[in-house]
Structure 1
Amino acid sequence: MSVKYKFRDQEKLYFISFAVVNWIDLFIRNDYKDIMLNSWKYCQTHKGFEIYGWCIMTSHVHMIIGSNGAKLEDIMRDMKKHTSIALKAAIQNHPGESRREWMLWMMERAGRKNSQNINFQLWQQDNHPIEIYDFRILHQKLDYIHNNPVVAGIVDKPQDYLYSSARDYYGLPGMVDIILVDPLVA
C-alpha cells in the first residue's frame, strides 16, 4: 500500500477526492447525491466530521475535511462503506434508472477483480488525502472544488451549482453545514 497518501496528522485539514469505479456517472440523479449528504450529516453529528468545502460531480467527489472526533481514515472508511450499500440499494430500487443493469454489472465486475471486496465495489479504493499546510493551499483547493462544475460546463458560476459548498461561500443557503474559512488576504 502506498505511504504517500495517508491521513498523518488528525489535527490538520485534508483535501480528498474519491470516485465511483470506472468513473461511472452515478451522480446524475439528485436522489443519489442526497444519500451522500445524509451520510455526511450523520458523520458530522456522530463522528466529529468537519467539512470546509465540497462538491459532488457526476462521477466523483471533492472535499476539504477535518475531524474533532473519530480518525479521518475511520470516518472515510465508514462513510464509503455505508454509502456503497445505500447507493447500491438506491440503484436497484430507483423506478426510472435505465442504466441499472449496466451500472450494477460494472460494480460487480470491479468487486470481483478486487481482493478487498466481495462481489461488489462502488467506490475506487483510495481517497488521496492531501494535507493542507497553509491558507494559500486551502484557498487554492477551495477554488478548484468550487470551479469544477464551471469547468465541466454544468453551470456558469460556482454559486449556481446546488451540490457544492460554493453556495455557502457566496452567502447562499447550502445543503450541508460547513465550516467557512476566512478569505485569503494577500
Structure 2
Amino acid sequence: MRSFRVSDQHAVYFLTLAIVDWIDVFTRKEYKIEVVDSLSFCVERKSIESRATWMLKAFREKGANQSRITNYKFWIDGLHAIAIESNHFFEQKMHYIHQNPVEAMIVEEAEEYLFSSARDYAGKKGLVKVELY
C-alpha cells in the first residue's frame, strides 16, 4: 500500500488502513462489541466527541511507523491519509462508510446496521454516543 503521510497533526484525515492478511475480523460479534466498548470508554472518559475522532487519533498514532512490529501485527504497514478539507468531501466519505453494510448485503438500509453511526443520523440510538455533523 502506498503511504500517504499525515503532515498536519491538527488536521482531520480520512484514513484507509488494511488488516494483515485481509482477515475479516469485524464480522465477529465479540470483536464488534469490543470496539464499541473501547469507543464508548474513550467518549465518556477521554472527552472524545465521536468514534470518528477516536479512530482518526488511534489510527494516526498506531498506523504510522509500525514496521518494527513483526509478531501479533494487526495493521499492514503504511496508510492512505487524505486531508478532509471540505464539507462535501467529509459527507462523501461518511456516506461511503455508512453504505458499506448495505453494499455487503448485511442490511437494506444503512441505519439498520446496529454498529453504524448511520443510525444516529437517521434519528435512532446508536451504540456509541455520536456528536452529529
TM-score, scaled to structure 2: 0.78
Q: Distance in 1 between matches of 2:84 and 2:61?
A: 23
1:119 corresponds to 2:119: no
Q: How many residues of Structure 1 are paired with residues of Structure 2 in the alignment?
A: 130
Q: Distance in 2 between matches of 1:122 and 1:20?
A: 6
1:76 corresponds to 2:63: no
Cα distance, 1:154 vs structure 2: 1.3
Q: Could you say what secondary structure the match of 2:80 adopts? A: coil
1:6 aligns with 6
Equivalent residue for 1:65, pick from 53, 56, 59: 53
For structure 2, the residue ranges without an aligned partner over 5 or more in a row are none
Q: Distance in 2 between matches of 1:50 and 1:126?
A: 26
**Contact 2:4 / 2:82 at 8 angstroms: preserved in 1?**
no
Q: Could you say what secondary structure the match of 1:130 adopts? A: strand
Cα distance, 1:39 vs structure 2: 1.8
**Mean Cα displacement is larger for which, 15-24 or 152-161?**
15-24
**Cα-to-partner distance string for 1:101-152 (whole Å, 9 max, x where unaligned):** xxxxxxxxxxxxx851142212223443322111111111111011111111
Q: Could you say what secondary structure the match of 1:117 adopts? A: coil
Q: Distance in 2 between matches of 1:35 and 1:51?
A: 16
Residue type of the alignment partner of 1:44? V
**Cα-to-partner distance string for 1:35-66 (whole Å, 9 max, x where unaligned):** 112222233344443426xxxxxxxxxxx437
- Identity percentage of aligned residues: 35
1:168 aligns with 120
Distance change in 2, residues 1:34/1:18 (3 Å):
farther
2:81 aligns with 129
Residue type of the alignment partner of 2:130? I
Structure richer in strand, relative to its length: 1
CA-based RMSD of the aligned residues comes to: 2.9
Cα distance, 1:79 vs structure 2: 7.0
Distance change in 2, residues 1:3/1:125 (3 Å):
closer
Q: Could you say what secondary structure the match of 1:139 adopts? A: helix
Residue type of the alignment partner of 1:76? F
1:34 aligns with 33
Distance change in 2, residues 1:39/1:77 (3 Å):
farther
Distance change in 2, residues 1:126/1:35 (3 Å):
farther
TM-score, scaled to structure 1: 0.58
2:43 aligns with 44
